[in-house]
Structures are given as structure tokens and as C-alpha cells.
């Protein structure tokens, strides 16, 4: 996460989004990333308060200034890698799906589902293909639930 944090920090400084520099850019970047990855504003404030005195409203304002950085546009893509992994959260099993454009390492989507049936695969792949002008080649591992979804979508794999 440190590489991503420094990358976001450089991006924020280059775009000159924040006029006043009353808080450190590293603190702002960390707050934005923590909130983007799902922590509540109050939990983000608790973590960042160990560095600087920050309110949860400040973190919300920072995030809404830069939320366009995290959007992925629709473009031509040659290959997309899709994979899933099992997560155990509070004793319950969840499946984390991720899709990445292999040419520029851009995240196209991340989902968490309760199951791993072909309907979840189909829904996730359909979501990912909405971010492509064409039908790219999809790279998957040898799991059997990909085959029916990819055949239904008519995608090369």
C-alpha cells in the first residue's frame, strides 16, 4: 500500500487539488485511500488522529474532491485478467473477484460475493465488459465456473 500511497500523494501534488496546505499530503492521501477501500469516515479519523488532529468531515471533503481519480473509463482493451479468491470474514466465507487490464495494470473491477456459481461469474464479467469498447480476450485460470459464463457472453478466453 505504500507504493500506492506515494503514487496518490504525487498525483495530488501534481494536480494541485488542495489550495491550502494545513495538513500533510501523506495524511490526506492515507485518509482518501482508507475511505476508498471501505473504512468508515470515523474509523479513518481514528487512524489518522494518531498523526494529526483531523475530523471525519475533512476526510469526506478530501475524498469528494478527488473521487474522479478512482473512476475507470470505457476504452479499447486487448486482454483482461480475471481471478477470484476465498476470504473468511467473521467466520463466513466470501469470494473476492478482481479484473485487471493487462496492458496498463488498471483495475477494472473488484467485487465480493457470497457464492462462486456461474451466475456470479457472469454478472462480474458483464460488469467488467461494460468498461470495454470491444470484447477483449479474457485470461482466467482453469476453474470450471468461468466456461459457461464466458460462452454465454461470447468472449474469447
Question: Does the pLDDT at position 2 exceed 60?
Answer: no
Query: Which pLDDT belongs to residue 51?
Result: 84
Q: Over the stretch 50-89, which tens digit does the pLDDT of each residue have?
A: 888 999 999 999 888 887 777 777 888 899 988 888 888 7
Tell me the β-bridge partners of 81: 100, 139
How many domains does the structure of the chain reveal? 2
The last residue of a domain, from among 31, 53, 70: 70
Q: Coil, strand or helix: which one is 50?
A: coil
Confidence of residue 9 (pLDDT cuts 50, 70, 90): confident
Question: Does the pLDDT at position 18 exceed 70?
Answer: yes
Mean pLDDT estimate for the chain? 82
Q: Are residues 45 and 86 in the same domain?
A: no
Q: Over the stretch 33-50, which tens digit does the pLDDT of each residue have?
A: 888 777 788 888 988 888
Q: What is the mean pLDDT of the segment spanning 142-146?
A: 66
Query: Is the pTM value of this prediction over 0.75?
Result: no
The last residue of a domain, from among 70, 95, 115: 70
Which set of grid coordinates corresponds to residue 16?
Answer: 494541485
Q: What is the mean pLDDT of the segment spanning 106-133?
A: 83
CA distance linking residue 90 with residue 32, whole number of Å? 25
Give the number of other CB atoms < 10 A from CB of residue 125: 24
Query: Which pLDDT belongs to residue 36?
Result: 78
Q: Over the stretch 47-61, which tens digit does the pLDDT of each residue have?
A: 888 888 999 999 999
Domain assignment of residue 94, given as a range: 79-153
Give the number of other CB atoms < 10 A from CB of residue 24: 12
Which set of grid coordinates corresponds to residue 113?
Answer: 460475493
CA distance linking residue 27 with residue 9, whole number of Å? 9
The last residue of a domain, from among 51, 70, 89: 70
Identify the H or E element spanning 123.
helix 118-129
Q: Are residues 88 and 66 in the same domain?
A: no
Question: Does the pLDDT at position 1 exceed 50?
Answer: no
Q: Are residues 85 and 140 in the same domain?
A: yes
**Of 144 and 133, more confident:** 133
Q: Are residues 84 and 43 in the same domain?
A: no
Q: Are residues 63 and 85 in the same domain?
A: no
- pLDDT above 70 coverage of the chain, percent: 93
Amino acid at each position: 500500500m505504500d507504493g500506492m500511497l506515494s503514487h496518490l500523494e504525487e498525483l495530488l501534488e501534481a494536480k494541485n487539488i488542495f489550495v491550502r496546505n494545513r495538513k500533510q499530503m501523506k495524511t490526506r492521501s492515507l485518509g482518501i485511500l482508507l475511505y476508498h477501500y471501505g473504512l468508515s469516515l470515523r474509523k479513518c479519523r481514528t487512524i489518522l488522529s494518531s498523526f494529526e488532529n483531523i475530523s471525519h468531515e475533512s476526510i469526506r471533503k478530501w475524498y469528494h474532491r478527488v473521487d474522479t481519480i478512482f473512476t475507470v473509463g470505457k476504452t479499447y482493451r486487448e486482454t483482461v485478467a480475471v481471478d477470484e479468491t476465498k476470504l473468511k470474514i467473521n467466520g463466513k466465507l466470501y469470494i473476492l473477484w478482481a479484473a485487471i487490464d493487462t496492458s496498463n495494470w488498471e483495475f477494472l473491477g473488484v467485487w465480493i460475493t457470497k457464492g462462486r456459481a456461474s451466475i456470479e461469474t457472469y454478472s462480474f464479467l458483464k460488469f467488467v465488459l461494460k468498461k470495454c469498447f470491444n470484447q477483449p480476450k479474457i485470461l482466467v485460470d482453469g476453474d470450471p465456473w468461468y466456461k459457461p459464463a464466458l460462452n454465454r457472453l461470447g468472449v474469447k478466453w
